[in-house]
Amino acid sequence: MHLPARTPVEKMTGPYERRWWALLVLCLSLLIVVMANTSLIVAAPDMTKALGLSSSDLQWVIDGYTVPYAALMLVLGSIGDKYSRRGALIAGLLVFAGGSVMGSLVDRTELVITARAIMGVGAAVVMPATLSLLVATFPRAERAKAITAWTATSGLAIAVGPVVAGWLLEDHAWSSTFLINVPIAVVAVFGALALVPPSRAEGMGRIDYVGGLLSIVSVGSLVYAAIEGPHFGWGTGPVTAAVVAGVGLLAFVAWELRHPHPMLDVRKFALRPFGGSMLAVLFFFFGTFGAIYYATQFLQFVLGYDALQTGVRLLPLAGAVFAGAAATGRLAPKLGVKALVTTGMAIGTVGVVLLVQVDKASGYGDFLPTLLLLGFAIGLSVSPATDTIMGSFPEAELGVGGGANDTALELGGSLGIAILGSLLGTAYRNELTDLAGGQLPATAMETAKDSVGGGLAVAEQLAQSASAGPQQAQALVDAVHESFAQAVARTSLVGGIIMAAGTMIVLAVLPGLRSAGKPPSQEAPAPRTTAAESARDEEHAHSR
């Protein structure tokens, strides 16, 4: 029987303790990957001022990370399966750290976007590696608890990223929000070498690079079209990308159905547990990321909180994630995946719909229930959905499984920010035109309509202008606040409707507890247990 090599920590502790120390390293790696997105939310105003970013520039500073991150996870997860999951984790952390160093040193927009893209490539290696190593390290009896901790870390990062970035921005430039990733990545690299056991798929055949390339083209084009089209108009670029995404997806499905060893067996989507769980992750993060995106802007631009104050006010979300995760551990065996996932989605839907009440007079207290409900919903529903997705893959395909789960998560979040962000911008422009149209010069009005930040900047210029004065400036501030509040309310209604529809779809697709006893061929893919996996589970049993 071949067992994994003993690490330095295993020489001091048993395998049981070792795998929980390994989980700590995996969660730390996951933390900085998610924080790289959320910390930029509060750093965006400082970056915009320092670099003179346009609305398009800022969008691509954010999404320069998202596009490679979403597009590459499936392929890079498969490469990690074949050669080394731990090696992939370490390589991804080093690439991520290198991009972070570059981002902290450059002072030109195109170079910042390049640095973010490099970080996105590193994240696309790290994210599926953390999940595949987790499943490879933990026996089935402990896996749900470990995935719950992994999910809770994602929720923690959503709230901690803005807090850390806000604290740094109190005394440092925006570049510090990049540099903070480096020491954490270095600690994670050494932790992986010392604590995480090596893992790779035994007997895995050649990688399906054609399928991998088609997946990159399909997902990358879809994310690009979703970002560019709603925000900047459906011109030649976004329309071409949408067509390429559609054709690429059809080609990917056709190729994978015919390939003897496909990168992703697309037949899994016809199986209700897997297909329903993938839809749940996508719909859930569509609404959650979109709502957090514009709620954070309201806290900063309308309520006037600085970066640190905004980050602190997002912390209740993290606490609610842990509460939801704790409830999942107790309720999952009794209620099953369907009940927890759909209940969590329904709670998240209520959280988004509550923001329909937002108006210019709203304060932080109006956003707190939404943050608490979204956080609790993340903790309650994402963990069982992820556990179901990963349970659909054999040991040889854990990296692909992690890539599929994380692609659904990132694609849902990207579409949420792009589509709901576009609706938000359109509603804001229309409302501001009604409230302040004709009161400003054409150039100033166009700047004010570009974004809520642009509107407040124009008001600041008016306050300092001899021809305008404080009264006209204050009138514009009031119009901007009112317009943005109305935009948040209308966008939340649309987001809530989409999440409600997604909840009903998932409710119809996921099998209930009565289906749990059906043969795998009817409801769930039967995980293929390899010799390496059997040996690992036997080792786990003896370690207890």
Would you state the structure tokens that stand for residue 207, as one six-digit string?
Answer: 């990688």
pLDDT, position 9:
40
Q: How far is CA 210 from the centre of its chain?
A: 26
Among 22-31, 155-164, 215-224, 233-242, the range of highest mean pLDDT: 22-31
Quote the DSSP letter at residue 420.
I
Rg (CA), the chain: 23
Residue holding tokens 């309520």?
Answer: 303
What's the rounded Cα separation, in Å, for the pair 53 and 55? Answer: 7
Name every residue whose Cβ is closer than 8 Å to that of residue 253 and which is 6 or more positions away in sequence: 266
Would you state the structure tokens that stand for residue 210, as one six-digit string?
Answer: 């054609």
Q: CA angle, 328 as apex, 324 and 332 as ends, to 5°?
A: 160
Yes or no: say if 510 and 341 are a contact pair by the CB < 8 Å rule: yes
Strands (E), 408-504: none
The residue among 69, 78, 152 whose CA lies nearest residue 393 is: 78
Per residue, what are the HEC states of 106-166?
CCCHHHHHHHHHHHHHHHHHHHHHHHHHHHHHCCHHHHHHHHHHHHHHHHHHHHHHHHHHH
Q: What is the mean pLDDT of the chain?
A: 84
pLDDT, position 55:
66
pLDDT at 66 over 90: no
Name the pTM for this structure: 0.83
Quote the DSSP letter at residue 301.
I
Name every residue whose Cβ is closer than 8 Å to that of residue 370 and which is 6 or more positions away in sequence: 291, 295, 351, 352, 354, 355
On the 0-12 / 13-18 / 19+ scale of CB atoms within 10 A, 129 is buried
What's the rounded Cα separation, in Å, for the pair 263 and 254? Answer: 12
Choice among 2-11, 238-247, 444-453 with the minimum mean pLDDT = 2-11
Helix axes 209-232, 398-415, angle to 10 degrees: 10
The residue among 80, 121, 103 whose CA lies nearest residue 220 is: 121
What's the rounded Cα separation, in Å, for the pair 282 and 219? Answer: 13
pLDDT (tens digit per residue) in 114-130: 999 999 999 999 999 99
The residue among 282, 318, 384, 342 whose CA lies nearest residue 156 is: 318
What's the rounded Cα separation, in Å, for the pair 504 and 276? Answer: 11
Would you state the structure tokens that stand for residue 341, as one six-digit string?
Answer: 């996932």
What's the average model confidence in pLDDT over 169-189? 90
Yes or no: say if 203 and 396 are a contact pair by the CB < 8 Å rule: yes
The residue among 439, 500, 510, 446 whose CA lies nearest residue 474 is: 439
What's the average model confidence in pLDDT over 95-123? 94
Name every residue whose Cβ is closer than 8 Å to that of residue 517 and which is 6 or more positions away in sequence: none
What's the average model confidence in pLDDT over 97-103? 95
Yes or no: say if 79 and 399 are a contact pair by the CB < 8 Å rule: yes
More confident call, 77 vs 42 = 77
Would you state the structure tokens that stand for residue 432, as one six-digit string?
Answer: 């501001």
pLDDT, position 534:
47
